[in-house]
Structure formats: C-alpha cells, structure tokens
Amino acid sequence: MSANNESFYWMDGVDVKVRDITDYESMRELFKGVDYVFHLAAESRLQPAIENPIYAVQNNCTGTAVVLQCAREAEVKRFVYSSTSSGYGNNKYPNVETQKDDCLNPYSVSKITGEKLCKMYSDLYGLETISLRYFNVFGERCPSKGQYAPVIAIFDRQKVSGEPLTIVGDGEQRRDFIYAKDVARANYLSATMPIKKRKGKTIVNYSGEVFNVGSGINYSVNEIADAVSGGICEITHLPKREGEAETTLANIDKIKEVFGWTPEFDVIQWIHDQR
C-alpha cells in the first residue's frame, strides 16, 4: 500500500488490517492462529528507494525482521517471502540462484537482506521459510499512473490517451516478464508442497532457500512497445536510469524440480489477447 496506487483490490470477506510492519507490538496480534504467512509488504519500487534509501531499508529490512519474529512466535507452518530478481544485478544470464549478489541500488540491497533474514530464521530458529525472487510481474490491475508504474500498464494508458509511448533509454534492455497468476500459484505451491526432497540416498531440506519465479524468456522493451501499440504509436525516449540491470532472464529449473511449478503465460501472447 506504500506504492500509493490509484486503486487497491480486496476479495469479499477478507479481513483487512492496516499496520506498519516495523511496529512489532502492533503486528504481533495479527499472527494468532495463522498457519501460513505470505510476506509482500515493502517499499516495492526501485526509483523511490534510490531517492530515499533510509525509508526502503527501514521497511524492507526492519519490517521483514518484525514479520519473521511474529511468525516465529506464532509457530506458523511456513513463511513465504516475496523477493526480487534485482539482486542479480549485472550477473551473467540466465540468472541462477547460486550466483553471487550484485545489488545495484538500495531497493535490491534491502530485499536481498530480507532473504538473508529468512535463511537465518530457518537455520537458527527452525522457522520454515522460502524466498521467491520475482522477475518483472505483469497482469490485470497493474497501476498505470506515475513514472514508476509497470511499463506495460504505462504503455496501455498512453496508447488509450493518444500519447506517445515513453521508452527509457534505447529500449533494447531485456526483461523476463512473469504473469501475476503464475506468481500467485508459485506462492501457493511453495507454501503447501513438501519442503524436503530425496536426492539419491540424501534428504535435502530447502527451508531458507531462494527460488526464481520467472518465465525463462525475455523480451526487449521495444518488443513490448510494438506489441502494445501494433506499430502505430509514436515513440519518445527518456534518459536511461541509473541502478538498473540491462538484462533479466530467469533459470527456473529449481522451482520446477522442487515444487513442480511452471509458468503458463507468455507476455506477448497476453498483450495480444487483451486487444
């Protein structure tokens, strides 16, 4: 909710509590009787985190520690943390979970710190945790206002308004786009599937580990713009942003093997289906 989107969507019957995740005393009561925790609350935008790194670190590091501690005290069955592919930075692609961190901005530093807190809570306290590194999430209801909204939603709004599509840099930067429903399914499976797997004679416990959630395919921003506009919209270019990787591409072998998850949607096909 810190993103100040124009709309938020809640299912009927959901009990919505608004809290500051850095406030331990306020948060504790929410975990009574809870079996599974999906931790998505964060300063979730890259550029605002660059502009205000203290705010990002406070929410994404301290806030995650508070939520983990509350989950530990409530003895939840499993804790699923929403992380980010931006922790890969300029690593060689496709990005695999064994690569070293290459955090290019305060947002990625703060989110990858959250992963390390999850692993520590698993190793030290025995809390089952899974960290999911989302690549570029797209889908219905994406916010379309503001310069930090997801690129597909911005292009859609600009096309409908008859405005030029604004592309940051030369548009040749490539992104792995993953559909929101695929992400939701990854969360469900990572919370409910067995976390221990037999490999030969060994039992491997994946608690505390990181899993990529991407499509395994990437497209340039120019290709996305062409798909949205059908080649009929004017294009304008904005200055390149600092602190952003040129290419993202997920290796998704691990999440396929451990949780049986595979993506079902392709971003270009989805854009065409919306027309």
CA distance 229 to 250: 26
CA 78 to each of CA 68, 74, 111, 131, 252: distance values in angstroms, whole numbers, following the listed order? 10, 11, 19, 11, 22
**What positions carry a catalytic annotation?**
107
CA distance 263 to 101: 24
Residue closest to 107 by CA, chosen among 164, 163, 48, 166: 48
CA distance 195 to 48: 35
Non-local (6+) Cβ contacts of 45 within 8 A are: 3, 107, 148
Residue closest to 196 by CA, chosen among 185, 207, 209: 207
Count of positions (residues) in the chain: 275
